[in-house]
Amino acid sequence: MSTDASTYHYDSAQPSHMHAVFVPPVLARLQALRPARVLDLGCGNGSLCPVCG
């Protein structure tokens, strides 16, 4: 197994197939908490920014 991450990148800001699994629980939790601010750690391609903003 290679540990070289140089080829790992995002090609677009569109949601991936994994969003169907991970996004609904995250958005449900955000709705329940109603936070005043959200810190985006930059761990992705930014496809959730318009939804959370």
Predicted structure pTM score: 0.59
Of the candidates 52, 46, 50, the residue with the CA atom closest to the CA atom of residue 16: 46
The tens digit of pLDDT for each residue in 1-33 reads 667 777 777 788 888 888 889 889 988 998 899
The token pair that represents 50 in the structure block: 């318009």
Provide mean pLDDT across the span 37-48.
78
> With 90 as the cut, is the pLDDT of residue 52 above it?
no
53 band by pLDDT with thresholds 50, 70 and 90: low
The rounded Cα 2 to chain-centroid distance in angstroms is 25
Residue 1: what pLDDT?
63
